[in-house]
Amino acid sequence: MSLHAKSIPTLASLLIATLLQVNAGISAELSEESADIPEPTRFVSEHSARFNGERVEYTAIAGETYLNDKLGEPKASIFTFSYIKNNTDSADSRPVTFIWNGGPGSSSTWLHMGGYGPKRIVVPSNAEHAGLPPYPIDDAPETILDVSDLVFIDPVGTGYSRVLGTHEGKEFWGLNEDADSMAEFIRTWITENKRWNSPKFLLGESFGTTRAALVAHKLEGDLSISLNGIVFVSQALDYQGSTPYVRDNIISHVTYVPTMAATALYHNKVTPVPADLPSFVQEAREFATEEYLPALFKGSTISIEEFDRVKGRLAYFTGLSPEYIERVDLRVRGDRFKKELLRDQGLAVGSLDARYTADEIDDVASNTARDAASDSISGAYRAALMSYIASDLGVNWDRLYMDPADSELSPNWRWRTVADGSSWEPAYVNTAHNLSEALRINPSLKVFIASGYYDLVTPFFDAEYTLNRHDIRPERLQFEYYEGGHMMYVNEPSRVKLLEDTRRFIMQQTR
């Protein structure tokens, strides 16, 4: 008995000693790994320009912000382009807008160089190809730097943003994982820059709006960080209304009709010609909900008379032939519309902006091979960004700027919203519920929604369909429409209007 009693503490001592050795080894490894991670890289430059008639002296900071893991070690580098006004009476009361693009897997290039940055790439407004370099990079005096500091964010795996240490990209590549990292970045940034009391805005484009709704919910609900406003550029919260390639998705058949109508009118396919675009798309809205949706819902029980009437009306709004509409049984898909509208001319219209056209190799295919809009301007935007950040911001770095994103991001992206092993029926992505709850947590929070008439990726009628339900009060939403596409700022009058509307919204939410 006494021998047994003595053996217990002996074994315990051995176990404790072993654990101490293991922990010491782990700590040494972690220290060694963290020692291999350099301090954040930052490029700082001073600038002066006029915005909205006001002379603004500002500091541009192109650099990294580190996110830390639970052990306090760096796990990711988030690279941002920040523009901070100098000599303000109280920096803590100055608004700051956090801006990101979409994808998932897009850097902030588009909104940075086309929409909200202090410089902009100039491409043709009339949907022509951007042509050959060199591309003009002009001042952007209309941008909102007079009313808000700007932070353009590249999520992990895009731009210069990377994982650090032993962490993997998959920890950040997913609907929830991505939103967690962006919310964590905002908390880190406002802490490091002493901006907790600043008015705060989120501004996202496309998937960036999906992200913004989820991030707003996490900030308001989990981190107790209040927002003043959210700006959606080409909203994409509920993906059912923007998924046209599923034949039995009745919702997308309906939500695409007004955009197809605007596109048909632009390409002179509507007869008789209506008085103006806004009234025509309003007619298309009413047809879509009051005639087209009931017809689709009836399916094969629809009468011949109603079928023929809806067929004729759909042909009028879409510019497609009644014969084609009968062949597809009234189910006009947005993805096939791009190829069908101008088939008689051997042209396809763009996805991101249906004003653009392309002469594709296969004229009898049912779907487009590429996107005419993206092919027309992507090279110019990339060249402009890389030239601008080197010449104006002094970014001299041998790190690759990933645009497009890390090749591992897309195949490893996780849309699943529950833990592995949990019951989960695949469904359309929908973060509108998160937005609705965030708006209830913060009763003063409002949302500005900017939509392009010619956007065949996130149709403007889907924005209305999505946001006018989910128990969101109409007075919390502000809709504006532009004669452009997904990136409506490519069209110069639309770019100016977008910036004016955004400025007005920020000033309204900071009074």
- Domain formed by 42-240+378-508, architecture: 3-Layer(aba) Sandwich (3.40)
Q: What is the DSSP letter of 158?
A: S
Rounded distance between C-alpha atoms, residue 102 and residue 123, angstroms: 21
Q: Which residues partner with 203 through β-bridges?
A: 99, 231
Question: What integer pLDDT is reported at residue 164 of this predicted model?
Answer: 97
Kindly report, as residue ranges, where domains of CATH 3.40.50.1820 are found in the chain. 42-240+378-508
Question: What integer pLDDT is reported at residue 34 of this predicted model?
Answer: 54
Rounded distance between C-alpha atoms, residue 158 and residue 406, angstroms: 6
Q: How far apart are the first and last CA of the chain?
A: 80
What are the φ/ψ torsions at residue 120 (nearest 5 degrees)?
Answer: -145, 150
Rounded distance between C-alpha atoms, residue 496 and residue 50, angstroms: 15
What is the pairing mode between strands 162-163 and 119-121? unpaired
Q: In this structure, is the dihedral angle defined by the CA atoms of residues 111, 113, 117 and 123, taken in order, positive or negative? A: negative
Question: What integer pLDDT is reported at residue 110 of this predicted model?
Answer: 98
Q: Which residues partner with 348 through β-bridges?
A: 358
Show the tokens assigned to 290: 């009051």
DSSP calls for 1-58: -HHHHHHHHHHHHHHHHHHHHHHHHHHHHHHHHHHHSPPPPEEEEEEEEEETTEEEEE
Rounded distance between C-alpha atoms, residue 318 and residue 331, angstroms: 12
Q: How many CB atoms lie within 10 A of CB 387?
A: 17
Q: CA-based angle 127:130:136, to the nearest 5?
A: 120
Question: What integer pLDDT is reported at residue 156 of this predicted model?
Answer: 98
The pTM is what?
0.92
| H-helix segments, 165-290 | 175-192, 207-221, 250-255, 257-266, 277-287
pLDDT profile of the chain (511 residues), mean per 10? 38 44 47 72 98 97 97 97 90 92 97 97 97 97 98 98 96 97 98 96 98 98 98 98 92 97 98 96 98 97 98 98 97 96 97 98 95 97 98 96 96 90 84 97 98 98 96 96 98 98 98 88
* E strand map for 110-247: 119-121, 137-139, 149-154, 162-163, 200-205, 229-233
Rounded distance between C-alpha atoms, residue 411 and residue 406, angstroms: 10
